């Protein structure tokens, strides 16, 4: 999708034309300095100068250090994405995988659409806004970095959480999914697609007792069986809210969201 308003751009030389044509043949809308250097068979220093000029003349958009996006001919003063936001995000950090609200929405487990792309990563990186899309990087410990797969988006490979891991990541950090109620809706809506043995296994692997407490509590309220066992400590059902409400003894949950509120969406 591009803007209607266009802007005349300067012509490009044979070298630049060869680069862009070759990238188009390879179906690459995003590429690195190394990619360009291999295509042109030149040193990175000279290629970097070429890419700088192409960016200045609005043929390219710099995503991050050494990463570029090819802009379409119709790109205007404020061009919009010419590539899926997941693909853009995949070029910004490594290792990574798309998760939380973004993965739940991709699988159709939530009706709520977030304008933010949530990316799980083991390295720290500041949130970025690129051409109108916000990309938020969630730093997680290495032991939590599992449960993702490779899929194609616009014929480009990206890493995304498995359905079960997207749920578990949400229970670990509900703020990245819009709160606990959204995760409850996701589990209920996805119950015919989820592997509950894998869901249980992933919950245990997170090394976070709150995930086990929340999952067991939610499954019970949705009328589903579980063999999970909580620890002795109480945890908040929704860490986004204040520490108020009843204490659920079996699952060691502080019900700061009442069962009625948790399932209120079923009434609509």
Report the C-alpha gap between 260 and 77 in whole angstroms. Answer: 50
Mind listing the pLDDT tens digit for each residue in 114-159?
889 999 999 999 999 887 789 999 999 999 999 999 999 988 899 9
Give the single-character DSSP code of 40. H
> Strand 148-153 to strand 128-130: parallel, antiparallel, or no bridges (unpaired)?
unpaired
Q: Mark out the alpha helices in the chain (DSSP H runs).
A: 14-25, 33-40, 44-56, 85-90, 100-106, 163-172, 180-189, 196-205, 209-221, 259-262
Supply the pTM of this predicted model. Answer: 0.83
pLDDT class of 78 with cuts at 50, 70, 90 = low
Provide the token pair at 189: 């809506």
Residue with tokens 């044509």: 21
Name which of 1-5, 176-180, 191-195, 246-250 the model is least confident about: 1-5
Report the C-alpha gap between 180 and 184 in whole angstroms. Answer: 6
To the nearest whole number, what is the mean pLDDT of the chain?
88
Q: What is the dihedral of CA 152, 156, 158, 162, to 10 degrees?
A: 0
Provide the token pair at 145: 């970095």
Residue 7, pLDDT above cutoff 60: no
The SS3 call for residue 23 is helix
- Render the burial of 26-59: b for 16+ CB within 10 Å, e for the rest: eeebbbbbebbbebbeeeeeebeebbeebeeebb
The pLDDT assigned to 57 comes to 83
Report the C-alpha gap between 110 and 221 in whole angstroms. Answer: 19
The pLDDT assigned to 8 comes to 44
Residue 77, pLDDT above cutoff 70: no
Please provide the CATH number assigned to the domain covering 1-83.
3.90.56.20
Nearest to 253 by CA among 243, 268, 265, 240: 243
The pLDDT assigned to 2 comes to 32
The pLDDT assigned to 4 comes to 35
In angstroms and rounded to an integer, the radius of gyration of the C-alpha atoms of the chain is: 22
Break the chain into its structural domains and give their ranges. 1-83, 85-267
pLDDT greater at residue 222 or residue 112: 222
Name which of 4-8, 169-173, 248-252 the model is least confident about: 4-8
Residue 33, pLDDT above cutoff 50: yes
The pLDDT assigned to 35 comes to 93
> Strand 133-139 to strand 128-130: parallel, antiparallel, or no bridges (unpaired)?
antiparallel
pLDDT class of 66 with cuts at 50, 70, 90 = confident
Residue 79, pLDDT above cutoff 80: no
What average pLDDT does this structure show over 70-80? Answer: 60
């Amino acid at each position: 999708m591009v803007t209607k308003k266009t802007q005349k751009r300067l012509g490009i030389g044979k070298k630049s034309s060869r680069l862009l044509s070759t990238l188009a043949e390879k179906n690459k809308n995003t590429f690195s300095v190394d990619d360009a250097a291999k295509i042109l068979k030149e040193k990175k220093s000279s290629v970097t100068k070429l890419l700088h000029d192409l960016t200045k003349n609005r043929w390219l958009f710099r995503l991050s250090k050494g990463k570029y996006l090819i802009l379409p001919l119709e790109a205007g003063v404020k061009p919009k994405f010419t590539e899926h936001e997941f693909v853009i995000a995949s070029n910004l950090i490594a290792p990574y995988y798309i998760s939380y609200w973004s993965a739940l929405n991709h699988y159709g487990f939530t009706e709520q659409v977030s304008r933010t792309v949530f990316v799980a990563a083991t390295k720290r990186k500041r949130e970025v806004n690129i051409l109108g899309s916000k990309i938020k990087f969630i730093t997680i410990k290495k032991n939590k970095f599992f449960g993702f797969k490779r899929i194609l988006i616009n014929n480009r490979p990206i890493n995304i959480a498995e359905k079960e891991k997207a749920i578990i990541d949400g229970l670990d950090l509900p703020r990245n999914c819009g709160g606990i109620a959204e995760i409850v809706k996701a589990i209920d809506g996805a119950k015919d697609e989820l592997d509950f043995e894998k869901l249980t296994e992933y919950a245990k692997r997170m090394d976070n007792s709150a995930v086990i407490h929340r999952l067991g509590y939610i499954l019970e309220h949705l009328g589903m069986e579980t063999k999970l066992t909580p620890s002795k400590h109480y945890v908040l059902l929704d860490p986004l809210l204040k520490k108020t409400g009843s204490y659920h003894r079996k699952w060691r949950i502080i019900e700061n969201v009442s069962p009625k509120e948790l399932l209120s969406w079923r009434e609509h």
